[in-house]
Amino acid sequence: MAFDTATVRIVGHDTAQLTVQLAESEAQQTMGLMERRTLAPDAGMLFLYGSTQPDSAAFWMFRTRIPLDIAFVDSTGTIRTVLTMQPCPSDLATGCPSYPPTAPYRAALEVNAGYFARRQFGVGDRVLLADTSTRRHATPPP
């Protein structure tokens, strides 16, 4: 599955730049980072929604092979929740835990586990979503 890519910035006590794949369609959002074995240190996936998602709209790690951090971002670009998610070894989706954001969100940013703590980003920091205007079409990962 092909994903467009864009550069986004996270702004807090410092600024970081990430190259992200954009998950905008329902099919892209369902696939997410499933079956990936690696993710570059300054890369991620940005899930963009056309409307605000409720605090009960959780993520899960079914068929996701790498541990991830996820930041749930509101419509102003402010990080509302940061969680660390572990790969789910279950062969059935029902055997995987869900990770509820505990706050409504408009976007979700997934990166390698530990990224937010290492860079000291968290709740209240900003993800500049406007940078997604510099999209590039990407080929599907191997």
Q: Which domains, and CATH codes, for the chain?
A: 4-101+110-137 (2.60.120.1140)
Instruction: Please check whether residue 82 is in contact with residue 74, taking contact to mean a CB–CB distance below 8 angstroms.
Output: no
pLDDT at 131: 52
All residue ranges of the chain with pLDDT < 70 are: 130-142
pTM of the model: 0.90
> Which residue, chain included where needed, has tokens 């860079």?
119
The whole-angstrom separation of Cα 27 and Cα 1 is: 9
pLDDT at 142: 42
CA distances 39 to 18, 51, 84, 86, 112, Å, are: 12, 28, 15, 14, 7
The whole-angstrom separation of Cα 47 and Cα 69 is: 13
pLDDT at 24: 96
Residues 6+ apart with CB under 8 A from 92: none
pLDDT at 130: 58
Give Dmax (Cα) for the chain: 41
pLDDT at 46: 97
Neighbours of 34 (CB within 10 A): 12
pLDDT at 67: 98
